[in-house]
């Protein structure tokens, strides 16, 4: 039986891009994603996503989107190094958010 190989850096990068996209989207979509993220990673992640949304709206840096993607990539990659069992749930949430776009 073949074994699936999960590339944590790729999961983190793809998720980071989707998380930042959703953070800047409609309130309904943001709240849906925030809730699902909290269910997987806990309430701190919900607050982190809210902070990302606030920075996207109010920060004067023209590259704030790239900065936030970088923050999420590192956060998720570090998490997957400690908790590789979460990779499938994180990847599934990213795909669900992408389909819902």
Instruction: Read off the pTM.
Output: 0.91
> Quick one: tokens of 75?
């956060």
What was the pLDDT predicted at 91?
A: 96
The pLDDT, as a whole number, for residue 100 is 85
SS (H, E, C) the chain: CCCCCCCHHHHHHHHHHHHHHHHCCCHHHHHHHHHHHHHHHCHHHHHHHHHHHHHHHHCCCCCHHHHHHHHHHHHHHHHHHHCHHHHHHHHHHHHHHHHHC
Rounded mean pLDDT for each run of 10 residues along the chain, 101 residues in total? 72 97 96 97 97 94 96 97 96 94 74
Phi-psi map region of 7: left, alpha, beta (phi>0 left; psi -120 to 50 alpha): beta
In this prediction, residue 9 carries a pLDDT of: 93
| Measured distance CA(83)–CA(66) in Å, rounded | 25
| pLDDT tens readout for residues 48-75 | 999 999 999 998 899 999 999 999 999 9
């Amino acid at each position: 039986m073949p074994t699936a190989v999960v590339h944590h850096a790729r999961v983190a990068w793809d998720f980071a891009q989707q998380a930042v996209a959703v953070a800047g989207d409609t309130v309904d979509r943001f709240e849906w994603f925030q809730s699902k993220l909290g269910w997987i990673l806990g309430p701190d992640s919900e607050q982190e996503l809210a902070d990302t949304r606030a920075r996207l709206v109010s920060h004067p840096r023209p590259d704030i989107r790239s900065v936030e993607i970088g923050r999420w990539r590192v956060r998720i990659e570090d998490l997957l190094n400690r908790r590789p069992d979460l990779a499938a749930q994180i990847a599934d949430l990213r795909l669900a958010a992408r389909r819902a776009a």
